Amino acid sequence: MFEDIVTQQQLDSITRLLQRTERIVVIGHQNPDGDAVGAVLGFMRWASLINDEAEVQGVLPDAYPDFLQWLPCANTIMRYDKKSAEVSALMENAGVLVCLDFNDYNRVGALEPILREYKGEIIHIDHHLNPTVKADIVVSNPQASSTSEMVLKMVIQNGDFDKMNRKFYIPIFTGMMTDTGNFSYSNASPDTYYLVSELLRKRVNREVIARNVYDNFSEWRLRLLGYVMNRKLVNISRLHASYFTLTREEMLRFNFIRGDAEGLVNMPLQIKGQKLSISLREDTTNPNIVWVSTRGAYDFPCDELCKRFYNGGGHSKASGGKIYGTIDDAVRITLDAINYYAELLK
């Protein structure tokens, strides 16, 4: 079995809250990844099982990556950047908001003021450090591999696992798989592998899901990867750190779509002894925002780095943030950041 992440009292409070409301809105973070989308879809199915008369709607601030569009019911999730008035009305009139896979209000982008002003009841479930979202029920477990894993544990603990179907199993498996690097990262615990075995018993096809996620890109994505690693990677070998930039002009040149940069930041960690990799990507529309993604090895504190230099945070080995400025500003800040941690990186 596995270690429970909620007390029975918490779980009963969650199910009672879901049972007595007519509208449940499930929210994920900005620039959603596999775990955010998987957890939202999975929780939506569970909420519909608990209360089959309620309206259950998933909401995201913006687009999820192209390689997740195949997920069952992914097209039912509403995007605020496409239907802002409709999403605003949904959230304002919801009986319960369920916040998944983010620890701070700033992680939901344009949804932040709506979430802050919401007067109803909130359930917050997340595996990032130091949650600050004010909620009636908070389920926080930084040791969990993913928020999808947390949702799965709650479903099993509530006795509902065998009542679910592929519309639950597949998104949850995908969320766990993507947040653990196909189960290769250190955040995959014995609990994770036990839960994976339970999903496999439900005939979840691991090979098909992995191919849909990791082998589902365009030719241009492959050409972009080669270009970045050959032409843009700056490796500071004496400090076992590297960074690369990706501009709007370059993204246009390579027919960039959402998700094409996924995994690029991991590649420099293949260099022997490498401790830190940083990706700096210009926003596709706002010329004064640069998105930052970091990956670390050998216990380098990426979360601390992103909090200190990049207006962000996350996990110790995988964090992100953003810079308000130009790509040149981002490079300057990144060099300052690498030098700040020089002793740790040597």
Read off the pLDDT of residues 25-34 as tens digits, 9 standing for 90 and up: 999 999 999 9
- How confident is the model over 81-102, as a mean pLDDT? 97
What pLDDT was estimated at residue 287?
A: 85
Residues 182 and 223 in one domain: no
Residues 209 and 224 in one domain: no
**Assigned domain for 2 exists:** no
Rounded Cα distance between 223 and 199, Å, is 35
pLDDT band at 130 (very low <50, low <70, confident <90, very high): confident
Rounded Cα distance between 343 and 332, Å, is 19
Q: In this predicted model, what pLDDT tens digit does every residue of 156-209 receive, in sequence order?
A: 999 999 999 999 999 999 999 999 999 988 899 999 999 999 999 999 999 999
Residues 295 and 152 in one domain: no
Share of the chain above pLDDT 70, in %: 100
Residues 145 and 250 in one domain: no
Residues 16 and 127 in one domain: yes
- The pTM is what? 0.91
Rounded Cα distance between 62 and 84, Å, is 10
**Assigned domain for 3 exists:** no
Residues counted in the chain: 346
Which of 170, 193, 214 marks a domain boundary? 214
pLDDT band at 129 (very low <50, low <70, confident <90, very high): confident
The CATH number of residue 224's host domain is 3.10.310.30
Contacts with 173 (C-beta within 8 Å, 6 or more apart), sequence order: 38, 148, 196, 199, 204, 206, 209
Neighbouring C-alpha atoms within 13 Å toward the C-beta of 132 = 9
**Assigned domain for 105 exists:** yes
- How confident is the model over 78-84, as a mean pLDDT? 96
- How confident is the model over 301-327, as a mean pLDDT? 93
The CATH number of residue 86's host domain is 3.90.1640.10
Residues 32 and 96 in one domain: yes
Rounded Cα distance between 73 and 45, Å, is 10
**Assigned domain for 144 exists:** yes
Among 212, 216, 279, 270, smallest CA distance to 251 is for 279
Residues 185 and 331 in one domain: no
**Assigned domain for 31 exists:** yes
**Assigned domain for 274 exists:** yes
**Assigned domain for 237 exists:** yes
- How confident is the model over 226-243, as a mean pLDDT? 98
pLDDT band at 252 (very low <50, low <70, confident <90, very high): very high
Which of 193, 214, 235 marks a domain boundary? 214
Which of 163, 190, 214 marks a domain boundary? 214
Residues 227 and 309 in one domain: yes
Query: pLDDT averaged over the chain?
Result: 96
**Assigned domain for 30 exists:** yes
Neighbouring C-alpha atoms within 13 Å toward the C-beta of 248 = 11
pLDDT band at 135 (very low <50, low <70, confident <90, very high): very high
Residues 66 and 143 in one domain: yes
Residues 111 and 180 in one domain: yes
Residues 46 and 167 in one domain: yes
- How confident is the model over 232-242, as a mean pLDDT? 98
- How confident is the model over 219-231, as a mean pLDDT? 97
Q: In this predicted model, what pLDDT tens digit does every residue of 53-63 receive, in sequence order?
A: 999 999 999 99
Residues 83 and 200 in one domain: yes
Number of domains forming the structure of the chain: 2
Residue 274: domain span? 219-345
What pLDDT was estimated at residue 233?
A: 98
What pLDDT was estimated at residue 314?
A: 85
